[in-house]
Structure 1
Amino acid sequence: MILVTGGAGYIGSHVTRELINQGYKVVVLDNLTTGHRAAVDKRAVFISGDISNRQLLNDLFDQYDITAVMHFAASCLVGESVRHPLKYYENNVGATTQLLHAMIDHGVHRFIFSSSCAIYGIPGQEIITEELPKNPINPYGKSKLMIETILHDAAESNGLSYIALRYFNAAGDHLSAEIGEDHDPETHLIPKILKHLQGASDAIDVLGNDYPTPDGTCIRDYIHVLDLTNAHVLALKYLLSNPVTRMQYNLGNGKGYSVKEVITECERITNVKANVHYAPRRPGDPPFLIASSSRIKQDLGWNPIYSLEDIIRSAWQWHSKHPHGY
């Protein structure tokens, strides 16, 4: 069986569904503080609990024949991490070490980690490769980098085999519109725009229009959640057949879109005009964040197939059918 921590969350729920569709048996562990019980595939075993609960983890590994762990459970709001850094170090780093302890104690050594491009901080170039220096500028990014360091050390001393997947801007929703992105508060650009176009807010705030980009707004790399899902399944298959693996991969489309371009595309697809309000820059936002995903393409044969239009159309379908979320 595959243990998916945080499997009631946005990305974890999509990965859980695809794993089951491909014949894997899945146990989902989630404390439901930000996840949704309704997002968990009914074919999965669901356990409500926290990965910091060592006894719960021991009981889980004793009861189920776990062969690998996919770890999505984390606090993930950059702004909140600045206001409450200890929460992020406790929830992300401390709780993950408990999970790793329990795994290793029970002879489970395959681990796929949900990392982030936030570990790079403000890179000195537009296209980000895995070899760039890691200089996170907020506690969220620092917590992700700390975990990657822990994974490296655990691999050296405890034989852990792992793949860390560094996401760029995850977006879009399942094509069935049965599961999707439902955060409170919502901080991601595309759902914020779509909610505004549904009438949930008076305006969409654009933080800065004076960046050194063609239209003055930040450029980001958006990757469909189903492309992310496919990367996780490929990573799992690789780990299961290659027991000594220590890899880190960027996950992005390799193409950037500005905030203005995303708003324009949302307007075109929904046929609704946005009310755009320009606000000052947010400290620490680099002009460009675009991934080079050539390493995972070469090693695992992964290729993203969904365009920005596909992302927005799938998100609009989800939000249209679920205007108030789950």
Structure 2
Amino acid sequence: INNVSYGFNNNIASAYSEADVFFSKNLALKAGLRLEYSELFKELTLSPRVSLAYKTSTKSQVSVAYGNFYQNPNNNILKFEQDLNAQETRHYILNYQLNKNGKIFRAEAFYKDYQNLIKYDTEYADFTSNYNNLGSGYATGIDLFWRDNKSIKNLDYWISYSFLDSERDYENYPVQAVPSFVNTHNLSVVTKYWIETWKSQLGLSYGFASGRTYTNPNETGFLNQKTKSYNNLSFNWAYLISQQKILYFSVNNVLGLKNINGYQYADLPDSNGIYASNALRPAADQFFFLGFFWTISEKGTDNQLDNL
């Protein structure tokens, strides 16, 4: 029996340079260049990155950015095949942010182009697989964020939302498809309210995520269905015993919703030709936590209330 060694050596040499250019007090440019050589791939990559920011007012700015990034294939791939190239991504970003009178607003639109992604022709990557760099994909979307701790006395709240449209043709995908880790819509709402007479901070948070793709072998197609959406309403209560001592209670998923992360199917069909399935769910639908926080500092006034 011949012993097979799945190892590799990859020495990488790199250099990076960055410069800041101020055209005026309102307009600035940051440019960078990364040069990298991989001994394993015998490949030299050049990655330019640049961002341009303009202050639209004393409290706001808009910026655009471009970046080119390279990433080596995963070690679990390289241990079987080294005749590959680095994977490449190009980022295009447009950003606006405002910070004024206790209010913060951020909006960002982006597009990412993926090239030279690793593909293989077996169910799992192993020594029998044939590998290449013919994979590709994209991701485009928007991120929105709003926070306000001034409009209503003792109330701090923030809302974040993201939209993501992404498809990839990589790994063992037979066609370009929406990966199973992608949520098209994500929403998060967090509120904190301080009640002086109770010496307490009450918090309520809500999280939503649209369903993820999965492959149902009882239907035709690849990644042909989606899970139901994820919903989570949680509550917490922080009681200020003294300036540096806090008694904290929280409950995750107050409504006890039965969220599903995905499905696992049998390898073989039953006598009726149906693949049996099991829902992949969290270990517990609800989680309760009771804790005590004691902050020790020189001033004797610091605590963890802002972090709870």
TM score, norm. by length of structure 1: 0.28
Give the number of the structure with larger relative contact order, counting CA–CA contacts within 8 Å between residues 6 or more apart. 1
Which structure is higher in strand share?
2
The structure where helix makes up a greater share of residues is: 1
- TM-score with structure 2 setting the length: 0.29
Which of the two has higher C-alpha Rg?
2
